[in-house]
Chains A and B, each alone.
Chain A
């Protein structure tokens, strides 16, 4: 479903992503781990077609994002890192706009919006202005936007960032449930999330994959059976780099 082949990105002389390759199959939830600045967000932005890669390609359901971006983008639901939203709209207005831009019309559009509101528990704020929402609701509104067109591929950049423990739990359950029928790539630096929601995880450091496996396999590789130790071992700290 998601095939990333030798994806690279330079920003000037800085190499942000270095020939990264991985695949995510249908029914798989791939956790994308790594320290800040490892190239997680840049990779996701390239896979979703926002940034053009310097080299390499990503295929979404077999469609190349560089050669046929329009078609490939219709298959993807994307939650950007800071959950950007149009503050001057209401939640329902925003979701209707996103549905319309995805080509949904009439009753189909309303149905998709209602379903997304229900899935992301947004009923109580549906008619509220986005400007007045708390961080948790903002995040879920943006997540709802990514589910509207029932995409085959979901790419979520730190979907649980800034949420309280209850909300984190709900989102993880949601990711797990959606992962049964979709291919999901989500980034996080909360290691417990990997065990809670992922079927597989990769650890990225300075643009390269440094560890890859199911949560159980990764734990087996770890020096004392903890993911945190493995993470510390395979990645470089800010101060060392």
Chain B
């Protein structure tokens, strides 16, 4: 119940200010821009959207997800409203869940607004819409993971800029650790086991299988546990800060 109240407040706050609009518009411009330029959507003639469209999402989220979530706790600590929240009869956990869901909803709106591309491929070709749906689920999960990481960082600082820079760095690392050209370089320097460990820590590995339409339980477990750990960490940091 209190999670819902906090969720509503946060969501309103996103849309009462230019934040959500700016992020959504930039996401749409970049994701569709990438599709038609580097993704070579028109020339490749592939209707699955996997390479032309979804491929770019983690690269966009590593910049945009921190922008969505950076204010969640940093702002609360800077304005002192955390003191209000801390003396209301609500648990820290329900505040965390409410805030996380609000940020996730903003990204869901952005993702949902890319629907014209789905209509386009269905008009031009005969794609497997199940695979496209899997791509959307994977893309949303990647964004949620990055939001959770940013939320954790946001609990540590009252400065949004610090939060943004640190989160972008962490999310970039998460993307790069599964990036093929880098893994190949890494393979030359270290053992295959190390490379495998680094790749499996990254987000691309889990995202790519999903965007190919492969539903593997291990990927869902990975996303869920990663998000869960970040949210638990947020709760721990917030409690530790008061002690």
CA distance A76 to B87 in the complex (A): 8
| Closest 10 pairs (CB-CB, A-B) | A84-B80, A73-B89, A50-B86, A48-B87, A80-B83, A84-B81, A100-B5, A78-B87, A74-B89, A88-B13
A22 at the interface (CB under 8 A from B): no
Question: C-beta contact mask, A104-130 vs B, less than 8 Å → 1, else 0?
Answer: 000000000000000000000000000
Name 25 interchain pairs, CB-CB below 8 A, sorted by A.
A45-B83, A48-B87, A49-B87, A50-B242, A70-B91, A73-B88, A76-B87, A78-B87, A80-B83, A80-B84, A84-B79, A84-B84, A87-B79, A88-B13, A88-B16, A89-B9, A89-B12, A89-B13, A89-B16, A100-B5, A101-B90, A102-B88, A102-B89, A103-B1, A145-B84
Please report the C-alpha to C-alpha distance between residue A102 and residue B89 in the assembled complex, in whole angstroms.
7
Contact of B83 among A50, A71, A93 (CB under 8 A): A50
Residue among A74, A84, A89 with max Cβ neighbours from chain B (10 Å): A84
From B9, B80, B87, give the contact of A97 (CB < 8 A): B9
Given contacts A84-B80, A86-B81, A88-B17, are A49 and B86 in contact (CB under 8 A)? yes
Chain A residue nearest in CB terms to B15: A88
A76 and B86 alpha carbons, distance in the complex (Å): 12
User: Which residues of chain B are within 8 angstroms of A196 by Cβ–Cβ distance?
Assistant: none
Flag if B80 contacts A52 (CB, 8 Å).
Answer: no
Chain B residues in 8 Å Cβ range of A145: 84
> Which A residues have a C-beta under 8 Å from some C-beta of B?
45, 48-52, 70-71, 73-74, 76, 78, 80-82, 84-89, 93, 97-98, 100-103, 145
Q: Nearest residue in B to A84 (C-beta to C-beta)?
A: B80
State how many angstroms separate the Cβ of A142 from the closest Cβ of chain B. Answer: 8
Q: B2 contacts the other chain (Cβ, under 8 Å)?
A: yes
New A-B contacts (13) at CB < 8 Å, excluding given A52-B243, A89-B12? A50-B86, A50-B87, A51-B242, A52-B242, A71-B89, A82-B80, A84-B79, A85-B79, A86-B13, A93-B12, A98-B88, A101-B5, A102-B88
**Docked CA distance A109–B159 (Å):** 34
Interface of B is mostly: helix
A-side contacts of B5, CB under 8 Å: 97, 100-101
CA distance A140 to B179 in the complex (A): 55
Q: Cα distance A87–B116 when bound, in Å? A: 36
**Bound Cα distance from A98 to B90, whole angstroms:** 11
Within the assembled complex, what's the spacing in Å between the Cα atoms of A102 and B2?
8
B163 within 8 A of A: no
List B67-119 residues whose CB lies under 8 Å from chain A. Answer: 79-84, 86-91
Q: How far apart are B115's CB and chain A's nearest CB, in angstroms?
A: 29
List of B residues within 8 angstroms of A48 by Cβ: 87
Measured in the bound complex, the distance between the Cα atoms of B1 and A54 in whole Å is 31
A241 to chain B, nearest CB (A): 25
Q: List B1-39 residues whose CB lies under 8 Å from chain A.
A: 1-2, 5-6, 9, 12-13, 16-17
Known: A78-B87, A101-B2. A86 touches B242 (CB 8 A): no
Residue from B2, B6, B81, B83 whose CB has the most chain A CB atoms within 10 Å: B83
Residue of B nearest to A69 (CB): B89
* A70 / chain B contacts, CB cutoff of 8 Å: 89, 91
Find chain A residues with CB under 8 A from B89 CB: 70-71, 73-74, 101-103
Instruction: Give min CB distance, A72 to chain B, whole Å.
Output: 9
* B88 with A101: CB separation less than 8 A: yes
Q: Closest approach, in angstroms, between the C-beta of B2 and any C-beta of chain A? A: 6
A216 to chain B, nearest CB (A): 33
User: Residues of B contacting A85 with CB < 8 Å?
Assistant: 79, 81
B191-243 residues at the A interface, CB under 8 angstroms? 242-243
Residues of A within 8 A of B80 (CB): 80-82, 84
Nearest Cβ distance between residue A77 and chain B, in whole angstroms? 9
Considering only CB atoms, which chain B residue lies closest to A51 in the complex? B242
Min CB distance, B46 to chain A, in Å? 43
Most buried by A among B1, B81, B89: B89
